[in-house]
Structures are given as C-alpha cells and as structure tokens.
Amino acid sequence: MFSLSIMITLAFLVSAIMALVTLMTSEKSSKEREKMTPFECGFSPMKKSRAPFSLRFFMVTLIFLIFDMEVSLVLPMGLLQESSSMFSWSFTVLTVIFILIWGLLHEWKNGALSWV
C-alpha cells in the first residue's frame, strides 16, 4: 500500500515537472494566437461575422440531414420484423415510406432539388 502511494505521487510529480518545463521552454509566437481562433468552413475569422452565405448550400445541407435521419429510421425496420406482428410492422413501414416519399415530392415541387 505504501509503495502504491509513492508511485502515484512520483508519477504526478514527474508529469507536473514535465508540463512546467514544456511551458517554460516553449516558444510563443504571433502565429500561435491565430491558431487558437475558431476556423469554420473556410471562412476567415477576421471578417465580419454576419457575412452572407449561399442559400443553395444551406438547402443542400438541410436535405442531407433529413436524408440521413431517414436512413437511420429505415435501416432498423428489418430487425423490427421479427419482434412484432406482420400487420403492425407493415403499417409502420408503409407509414414511414409514405412520409419519406411525400417529403421528397414536396422538395421536388418547391424546386429544392433543381441544380440550375
């Protein structure tokens, strides 16, 4: 028990000393400050924050997220077939597929899928 507490204390001291030595010997530069700024989607953090972005890109992103959720709903349907009655499984599958097709037709009608 005594040797375990000595080893834990020794490990803590060695790691603390290494961290302090690293902090004291590291070279600070002005580029490091730039690395610490947020970088998102290729936008420069030095520009104004409310820069306009492409609405087409936003729509494609939303459609992708919706499609991703659709896939996560449809994939487990095969596993549900064994644990439920055939009627309730068929009703659930047909309802989900109807909602997906209805959403696709709505997006198509509103022109969200046109690439012009």
Task: Transcribe 21-63 into DSSP letters.
Answer: HHHHHSPP-HHHHHHTS--BTTB-TTS-TT----HHHHHHHHH
**Full-model pTM:** 0.46
Q: Which helix (H) or strand (E) holds 18?
A: helix 2-25
Identify the band that residue 83 occupies on the pLDDT scale cut at 50, 70 and 90.
confident
79 falls within a domain: yes
80 is a domain residue? yes
Domain with 82, as residue range(s), is 54-109
Q: Given this model, what pLDDT does residue 86 score? A: 87
Is 20 contained in some domain?
no
pLDDT of residue 19: 92
Overall domain count for the chain: 1
